[in-house]
Chain A
Amino acid sequence: MGFDLVANVIIAGVLTGLVYGLMALGLSVIFGVVRVVNFAHGEMMTLAMYAATVLFAAFNLDPFLAMIPVAAAFFVLGYALQAGLINPFVTRPEHSQFMLLVAVAIILVNAMLMIFGPDARNVQVDYQLESFEIGRILVDKARLYSALAAIIASFALFVFFRFTLTGKAIRACADNYLGAKVVGLNVKRYYALTFGIGAACVAVAGCAMVLLVDVTPPLGPAYTLLAFVIVIVGGLGSMGGALLGGVLIGVSEALAGLFITPSAKGMFSFGLLILVLLFRPQGLLGRRS
């Protein structure tokens, strides 16, 4: 097992991990602010991937360009979902919230199955077959571009939450529900906004992911679990944590696939989740709440 192979696998893992990280970032934002277990997160990601394939098939639109309309559409959808369906559930017991989103997830997955069928779909762009050579390391162009998109989107989100008034308001709602209401923030509306933003993140991540992976309906639940693993490992409420968690999971999956059998790589992620939940539940970069 030469150094080249391991290095290539690690680089690929890091790049894919950054896209995972963006998906998890969406979840972290939603989970961290609205405190709702979005069990339909992976299904939303899968839907975004399908949207990208549809736009590609219809208009030959490059997934990176498709990001813009898909993200906009998902923002609206996410906002509507939170405002219409989930907001009344914020004060309900957890198993109720969970069942609500499971129901949404079931509807989404099977609607996708109905519309698109069980066969895998993908996009075919030229640069998927090309790669950059850096010394003895081969970096896939598609993977690199996807990772770059993930980094740019994450940075934009970071700037939004740090420096804009709305971003600060959302953070206030996350930190102290009652306090935010006391100072006059319309918390429910900010929740809807947050869900919209989280959904838009997922949209961008999905458009990036479709260049790397073929999309089938069962990816939905798999990505949901993956997103939760990453968010918990990286740390709730920490954007850097989500990205770091994504990279960690991406690399560990890639390495597990290389050294153990590929089908066991999920075991590694869940094992890591168990360890983190037990010994550092706030995650690697999270704050102890």
Chain B
Amino acid sequence: MLAVLAALLVALPAFAGNYALSVATLILYFAYTGQAWNVMMGFAGQLSLGHALYVGVGAYAAGALFFHWGIGPWAGLWVAMALCVALGLAIGFLAFRFGISGVYFALLTIAFAEFTRIGFDHLDWTGGPGGMFLRVAQRDAWDLANFRGPPLMYYYAILFLTAAALAVCALLLKSKAGYYWQAIRENEEAAQALGINTFRWKMLAVAISAAMTSISGVFFAFYYNNLFPEQIFHISRSIEIILGPVIGGVGTLFGPVLGAVVLTLLSDGITEALGLLGWEIPGIKQVFYGVVLLIVVMFLPNGIWPAIARRLKL
């Protein structure tokens, strides 16, 4: 079944128009970023509500290098990853050494993201509140070195990333790290009693999650080509990132992907339906969105994927 799905996704551009392709790209973007977040939360049980921080830092790092010195995304990628891993480790160190967990850890991540958002608003080197705009040389030929090309190229790039993320997560889940994380997630004290160095493994989860998310940021920078602190670091972005996994199923392998699909299609579907009905009041779409979110959270507490998996006897 997975092979069929993969084949479908690879062949999608053949029968999808440009709009459908951009929607698919967006779905995969949220699927990938959600999967990255899932490593920290679903696997290791650390609730991060400020993940937009890594997307933003990754995007700005690669973007700034390209903007100021023309350094391509492949080099910028490593700088972005290094920065984000360092940030993640710093936050993790501060939090875990001081014994902060649960809600307080979540608030700490929010605080760091907000602090960075306002900070970048005042950082002129990256354009400040006016934003940073990356030059787009061309959109016709596939220039992988500079990551410039038609929407098709971006689609395949993010498809590849999402598939790679799934593979990496599948491997991680079955590895020693995966089992240690699940032990820590379920009962950290019991895990410690078994001799697991919970600090080290939690830090690893944070580092991997941050690194993966930074790649998402680099993609964002070169796909959208404009970066604004108010948008990219905003808490709404962090919430968007976690919507997919929470709806789809935290801690599962396919949850984030399924969640991203459901949410994006739902969002577009609602917009279409409202347009047809003529109810074009600003805010009404979000109200519907919130109501659906509410219903899913109330009645499918573990997410959609576990419910489906049970039905399909997977």
Q: Are A114 and B284 in contact (CB under 8 A)?
A: yes
Kindly identify which residue among B98, B104, B121 contacts A263, using a CB–CB cutoff of 8 Å: B121
| Structural contact, A278 and B100, CB atoms closer than 8 A | yes
Cβ of A107 and Cβ of B41 under 8 Å apart? Answer: no
B294 to chain A, nearest CB (A): 4
Contact of A270 among B103, B118, B284 (CB under 8 A): B118
B49 is contacted by which of A85, A98, A109, A271 (Cβ under 8 Å)? A98
Using CB atoms, name the residue of chain A closest to B246: A99
Whether, in the assembled complex, B108 has its beta carbon less than 8 Å from a beta carbon of chain A, the answer is: yes
Q: Of residues B94, B111, B112, B239, which shows the largest number of chain A Cβ atoms within 10 Å of its Cβ?
A: B111
Interface presence of A164 (CB below 8 A): no
Contact yes or no, A114 B287, CB < 8 A:
yes
Residue of B nearest to A106 (CB): B290
Query: Which positions 138-196 of chain A face chain B at CB distance < 8 Å?
Result: none
Give Cα A105 to B289, complex, Å.
Answer: 12
Determine whether B107 belongs to the interface, using a CB cutoff of 8 Å to chain A: yes
- Asked if B297 contacts A277 (CB within 8 A), the reply is no
Cα A267 to Cα B122 in complex, Å, equals 11
Q: Which stretch of A48-56, A88-96, A125-133, A199-207 is in the interface? A: A88-96
B-side contacts of A117, CB under 8 Å: 282
Specify which chain A residues have a CB less than 8 angstroms from the CB of B115 in the assembled complex.
267, 270-271, 274
Q: Give A274's nearest chain B residue, CB to CB.
A: B111
Which residues of B108-162 are within 8 A (CB) of A? 108, 110-112, 114-115, 118-119, 121-122, 129
Q: Which residues of A contact B112 (CB under 8 A)?
A: 270, 274
Does B283 touch A at the CB level, under 8 Å? yes
A273 within 8 A of B: yes
Q: Does A110 contact B (CB under 8 A)?
A: yes
Smallest Cβ-Cβ distance to A95: which chain B residue: B47
Interface residue? A257 (CB, 8 A): no
Whether A113 and B283, one on each chain, are in contact in the complex, defined by CB atoms closer than 8 angstroms, is yes
User: In the complex, A53→B43 CA distance in Å?
Assistant: 47
Which residue of chain B has the shortest Cβ distance to A31 in the bound complex?
A: B103
Residue A73, interface by CB 8 Å: no
Q: B107 contacts A107, CB within 8 Å?
A: no
Residues of B within 8 Å of A104, CB to CB, are 290, 294
Interface residue? B235 (CB, 8 A): yes
- In the complex, A210 has a CB within 8 A of chain B: no
- Is there a chain B Cβ closer than 8 Å to A111's Cβ? yes
Question: A96, A102, A111, A279 — which one has the most chain B CB atoms within 10 A of its CB?
Answer: A102
Give bound CA distance, A92 to B299, whole Å.
12
For A36, give the chain B residue with the smallest CB separation: B103
Mask: chain B, 47-64; 1 = CB below 8 Å from A; 0 = not: 101000000000000000
CB < 8 Å: which of B122, B129, B250, B286 contacts A106? B286
Cβ contact within 8 Å between A113 and B98: no
Q: In angstroms, how far is the closest chain B Cβ from the Cβ of A10?
A: 22
Query: Is B301 an interface residue when CB atoms closer than 8 A count as contact?
Result: yes
Contact between B301 and A232, CB atoms less than 8 A apart = no
B interface residues with partner A (beta carbon < 8 Å) = 41, 47, 49, 94-95, 98, 100, 102-104, 106-108, 110-112, 114-115, 118-119, 121-122, 129, 235-236, 239, 242-243, 246, 250, 281-287, 289-291, 293-294, 297-298, 301
List the 7 shortest-distance A-B pairs measured between CB atoms, nearest first.
A113-B283, A106-B290, A110-B286, A107-B290, A110-B283, A103-B294, A103-B293
What are 30 A-B interface contacts by the 8 Å CB criterion?
A: A37-B106, A95-B250, A96-B297, A98-B49, A99-B242, A99-B293, A99-B297, A100-B298, A103-B291, A106-B289, A107-B286, A107-B290, A110-B290, A111-B283, A112-B283, A114-B284, A221-B236, A261-B122, A263-B121, A264-B122, A266-B118, A267-B118, A273-B108, A274-B94, A274-B108, A277-B98, A277-B104, A277-B107, A278-B98, A278-B100
> Known contacts A103-B291, A228-B110, A274-B112; can you find 13 more A-B pairs with CB under 8 A?
A37-B106, A95-B250, A96-B246, A100-B297, A103-B297, A104-B294, A105-B290, A263-B118, A264-B118, A267-B118, A277-B111, A278-B95, A278-B98
